[in-house]
Amino acid sequence: MSEKEEIRPAQITDQDGHPYSAEFGDIYASRQGAVGQALHVFIKGNNLPQAWQNRPEFVILENGFGLGTNFLTTLKTWREDLNRSESLHFVSIEKFPVSKEDLLRFADPDVASETVELVQQWPDCVPGVHRLYFDDGRVVLSLYFMDVAFASKKLALRYDALYLDGFSPAKNDAMWKRSVLTSLSKFAKPEATLATWCVSSHVREDLHNAGFEVQKVQGFGKKSQMTVGIYRPKFSHRRSQEVPYSEKYPDRSLLIIGAGMAGAACACEFARRGWKVTVIDEGRVAASAASAIRYAIAHFQPAGDENLLFRLSRAGFDVLKEISRDFPEYFHLNGLPQIARDETEYKKWERWFQNNKPFQFPHNFLRLLSREEVSDLIGYGTSYGALLHPAAGLVEAGRFVRERLFSSGALCLFNTRVSSLRREEGKWVAYGNAGEELARAAVCILCPGSSLLKIASDNVPVTNWHGRLSLLSGEEFPKLKGAMTGPGYVINDGDNWVGVGATYEREGASMEEREAHRQNAEKLHKMFPNAVFGTAIGFYEGIRSAPSDRLPLIGSVPPGFLIEGFVSEKDSVNDTLFLNTGMGSRGLIFSDLGARIIAAQVTGEPYPIEKDLLDAVNPARFLSRT
């Protein structure tokens, strides 16, 4: 079992009114008061609030979230400061996440209202990075639910202040190992500060060797001393000389090519940061290509190990769930049965739950249903049992995309084709078919969907797949509501429309209509052996574009990735041209995750996923193999 897979719920008991850890035999905070300790040790110890005042953003990294008192106290302090930074990013590592009940049970009265806000968004005990948003997104809490030894190698951020708040080295030495402290130091900005209640000589020595100038100062309560420090390494990293994005992009202008799911996601993500956004699309309206589908299914791809697709799709699904709160009318996340392809697959799922692999699935995250249970749930006899995704379901995709793009306030140019891009005077300039200038901006994001194949070089293994969804009369399945997936999928909007599908046909080699319907009927029968396909009344069809490894293309465009006629190679040697595309049939899950990855890359914010996942979606991954 890997370091990352070992997370488990914290076991907390009440010891004379103080939260006590059964794992480590220690209390969670000073008996003299958790908020008082947070204010003295971590706020004052990191020269806050002065350090964040009048800055565009401020990033704090914490090792040991516990009951969240340090975050909640920091949030309250930030809110009360009239000169606070424009945004606050708080990143915390925790191997033993607490429950919602314990957060409320041991809430400090001084941060009671903040605790309620935290509990309203508190994630399941599932490995990975979980993002919570406060104050209209100006405060972002990123929870790394994983072992610190793993997290310290996978962080994707640079911090201004470091909170070291694990249990004592005598109780939990893993939090204070030299390798951990050395790894955490590598993410510090020049002059970053640190604070901890710990004054252990080996901890102070390891911090000093990692580049921090440390000293003892007055402690809190019965602890006479604590440790503070400033990051001043003997040898500076090249990345320390990076120009702040506010200076790099003073006009905050963005050009997006493509008005589908990915383009709309990017428009919203940058618009809420105050950027001026222009979107260009060949269609007459937003979501005019594959994103126009009436309904799409939203769910992550489960697995028996922590593979890349499982982790990426979980991260993307979490982002989509968070966004759904702002657009509830388009989301019908009432649960999704995933029916097994055969008995072998169902037996494999049973082993996951019996062995808690890759981790113990929370009840509201994933459930195993017998054939009888799933048949009772949906009203039809199924071939095999199913996995139930309680939080998954249907999204009115086309309407959702159009509403999002409209709400972003972006300037949209429809019925407009971009024939080439050029870098001129520090801006990306889009030119039309006749060589006319269409728009210009400091940063450009390409969201071409199936048009990627037209502009990608031959070195990029991208394929377009023609997909067809057979449309049936709603009378064919009167009991079937919502959606099901498995060997294929079935969608019923509850009105007068049922979709069954879908085919995967290489573009340019599409099958005849009768054969497409036959294949979709076969998928239906694998899930529901007694179902009658009935008469198809038509198709919904679209083109999906996907790389050979089935993972999206998100990040900076590397030299040689695009054809010379679209972008010259000398212009593409630049960190201001990005891709958010290549998502195949998972555009709904990956579009917003991609937008947030690119926003972090542009602004220097902490990334929403781990470094190895960033590498997995980096467009340069294919060119590095050639």
- pLDDT tens digit sequence for 402-452: 999 999 999 999 999 999 999 999 999 999 999 999 999 999 999 999 999
**Distances in whole angstroms, Cα of residue 42 to Cα of each of 70, 77, 86:** 7, 11, 20
> What are the structural domain ranges in the chain?
4-238, 245-289+398-461+549-623, 339-393+462-547
Distance of CA 621 to the CA centre of its chain: 20
Name the band, by pLDDT with cuts 50, 70 and 90, for residue 391.
very high
d(CA 514, CA 522): 12
Name the band, by pLDDT with cuts 50, 70 and 90, for residue 58.
very high
Question: Does the bond joining 358 to the residue before it have cis omega, within 30 degrees of 0?
Answer: yes
Which residue bears the tokens 């002059």?
191
Q: What is the mean pLDDT of residues 361-376?
A: 93
Query: In this predicted model, which residue has the larger pLDDT, 533 or 52?
Result: 52
Computed over its alpha carbons, how large is the radius of gyration of the chain? 26
Pair 260, 291: CB distance under 8 Å: yes
Contacts of 488-495 with C-beta under 8 Å, sequence gap 24+, read 488/520, 488/523, 488/524, 488/526, 488/527, 489/297, 489/523, 490/524, 490/527, 491/295, 491/297, 491/394, 493/294, 493/295, 493/394
| CATH match of 4-238 with 3.50.50.100 | no
Q: Is the confidence at residue 175, as pLDDT, over 50?
A: yes
d(CA 271, CA 409): 7
Q: What pLDDT digit, counting tens, does each position of 553-577 carry?
A: 999 999 889 998 899 878 777 789 9
Q: Is the confidence at residue 2, as pLDDT, over 60?
A: no
Q: What is the mean pLDDT of residues 32-53?
A: 95
Q: Express as a percent the part of the chain with pLDDT over 90.
A: 72
Q: What's the topology of domain 245-289+398-461+549-623?
A: FAD/NAD(P)-binding domain (3.50.50)
Name the band, by pLDDT with cuts 50, 70 and 90, for residue 476.
low
| Matching fold, domains 4-238 and 245-289+398-461+549-623 | no
Q: What is the mean pLDDT of residues 318-336?
A: 95
- Tell me phi and psi for residue 416, to 5 degrees: -135, 125
Q: What is the mean pLDDT of residues 329-358?
A: 94
3-state secondary structure of 385: coil
Angle between helices 178-185 and 201-209 (to 10 degrees): 40
Mean pLDDT of all residues belonging to the chain: 91
Adjacent-strand bridge partners of 60:
90, 161
d(CA 310, CA 127): 11
Q: In CATH, what is the architecture of 339-393+462-547?
A: 2-Layer Sandwich (3.30)
And the tokens for 81? 């400061």
d(CA 482, CA 247): 49
3-state secondary structure of 100: helix
> pTM of the entire structure?
0.94
